[in-house]
Chain A
Amino acid sequence: MKAKNILWVFLLFPAVTAFMEKPPTRWVVSQNSSLSVNGSTNINTFSCVIPAYDKTDTITIKDKSDKGVTLSGSIDLNVNSFDCHNSGMTKQLQKTLNEKQFPELHIRFLSLSNLPAITRKPEPVTGLVDIEIAGVSKRFEINYQISEDAENVINLLGSRDLNFTDFKLIPPRKLGGMIKTKDQLTVAFHLKMKTI
């Protein structure tokens, strides 16, 4: 009899815990979202932006309480949408990112360390993403700030330092190497999302 009870517990436990998981939440990425790439050379700094996200993608959030928060969804950005506020530099970035062969870069959202109560006050949270540039995908931990504004728009701001060479890209150098672009870049994005 005792063994039978234990067996029931084992059989029912996964089913019960499955019902206890919160239902997935979906966030729709709005077109006001933006991404910027900031870098420097030995003579100047540059900031290249994709000022408006031209697609409507969703990110699904599954809060598994003890196992953290898993995310699924990605944003796909057109490399030729970058604007470096200087036509030559814009063309140079597109060439460096191998735009002809790989016209899109992708950010795939994988997880969050936790999902804080989203309020007006930005809350720090970390998460994992896969960033794919020029056909090479690398996993990074990102520091986010998450908040919600008066119009119930969720603002997810994330930034991360990465290197051209992480993606097997060569930082441009000009005039026999006298003008050199530094390997390190900062990628920052601001996603504006609505819960559906």
Chain B
Amino acid sequence: MKKILITGLIAGCILFILSYGGLFLGIRFFPGLFVAYDNPLFNSNGSRDMLFYMHAFIISFALSWFWDRFKGLFKGSFLMRGLEFGLVYSIIALLPVMWISFSSLDITVVMVISWFLYGLTQAIIAGLVFAKVNP
């Protein structure tokens, strides 16, 4: 349990910096991709900002538990294990969620694809951290 929490925390800190740093740079250099977020579908009064910024840790702790439970199934070098872990998470969890989101919400294809790639990148980075810290 302690190992799960520690690796989750390490991955959370790394994902926090990379995810929100990446998002900040994305907004700065590709603002056109983010115009669609000016929509009441997305929280606009700041009341959920804390929850938004906690996401990196929520996903890291969840993936850390998942890694600890199934790490024996991922074989090869740490790079391969991290990549495969990220792909498995994306296919099992992200793809169906993106599918239902696109089919039920008034969001664009670009938005859904960007969320999928964002989640995939997060999971691969977390997988690489787990493969190193908790092999």
**Interface, chain A (partner B; CB < 8 A):** 41-44, 46, 86-89, 91-92, 95-96, 170, 172-179, 181
Assuming the contacts A177-B49, A179-B37, asked whether A172 and B31 have C-beta atoms less than 8 A apart, the reply is: no
Report the tally of A-B residue pairs with Cβ distances under 8 A: 69
Q: Which of B34, B40, B49, B53 contacts A92 (CB 8 A)?
A: B40
In-complex Cβ contact of B27 among A43, A87, A181 (8 A): A43
Query: CA of A174 to CA of B106 in the docked complex: distance in angstroms?
Result: 16
- Closest Cβ neighbor of A95 among chain B residues: B40
- Apart from A95-B44, A175-B42, list 7 A-B contacts with CB within 8 A: A42-B27, A46-B38, A89-B39, A170-B44, A173-B44, A174-B44, A178-B24
Known pairs A43-B31, A86-B35, A179-B27; A174 contacts B53 (CB<8 A): no
Most chain B CB atoms below 10 A, which of A43, A44, A46, A87: A43
A48 to chain B, nearest CB (A): 11
Q: Is the CB of B44 within 8 A of A92?
A: yes
The answer to whether residues A179 and B40 also contact, given A43-B27, A173-B46 and a CB cut-off of 8 A, is: no
B:56-72 near A, CB below 8 Å: none
**Known A88-B38, A91-B39: A176·B49 in contact at CB below 8 Å:** yes
CB–CB A89/B38 < 8 A: yes
Q: Does B77 belong to the interface (CB within 8 Å)?
A: no
Can you report 12 A-B residue pairs in the complex whose CB atoms are below 8 A from each other?
A43-B32, A43-B35, A88-B40, A88-B41, A91-B40, A92-B38, A96-B44, A172-B44, A176-B20, A176-B53, A178-B27, A179-B37
Q: How many residues of B contact A (CB 8 A)?
A: 23
Is B36 interfacial (CB 8 A cutoff)?
yes
Asked if A179 and B38 sit within 8 Å, CB to CB, the answer is yes
Min CB distance A34 to B, Å, is: 22
A96–B45 alpha-carbon span in the complex (Å): 9
Do B44 and A175 touch (CB < 8 A)? no
Given A95-B44, A96-B44, are A175 and B38 also a contact pair (CB < 8 Å)?
no
Closest CB-CB distance, A114 to chain B, in whole Å? 41
CA A43 to CA B40, docked complex, whole Å: 17
Residues of A within 8 A of B20 (CB): 176, 178
A44 to B37, CA, bound (A): 11
When distances are taken between beta carbons in the complex, the residues of chain A under 8 Å from B35 are: 43-44, 86, 89
CA of A86 to CA of B36, assembled, Å: 9
Q: A175-B23, A175-B52, A179-B27 are in contact. Are A43 and B46 (CB under 8 A)?
A: no
**In the complex, B43 has a CB within 8 A of chain A:** yes
CA distance A42 to B20 in the complex (A): 16
Report the minimal beta-carbon distance from B21 to chain A, rounded to whole angstroms: 11
A3 to B119 Cα, complex, angstroms: 95
CA distance A43 to B32 in the complex (A): 7
A43 to B25, CA, bound (A): 12
Provide the residues of chain B in CB contact with A179, threshold 8 Å: 27, 34, 37-38
Give Cα A29 to B53, complex, Å: 50
Do B39 and A92 touch across chains, with their CB atoms under 8 A apart? yes
* Contact between A88 and B36, CB atoms less than 8 A apart: yes
Q: Check A174–B43 contact: CB distance below 8 A.
A: yes
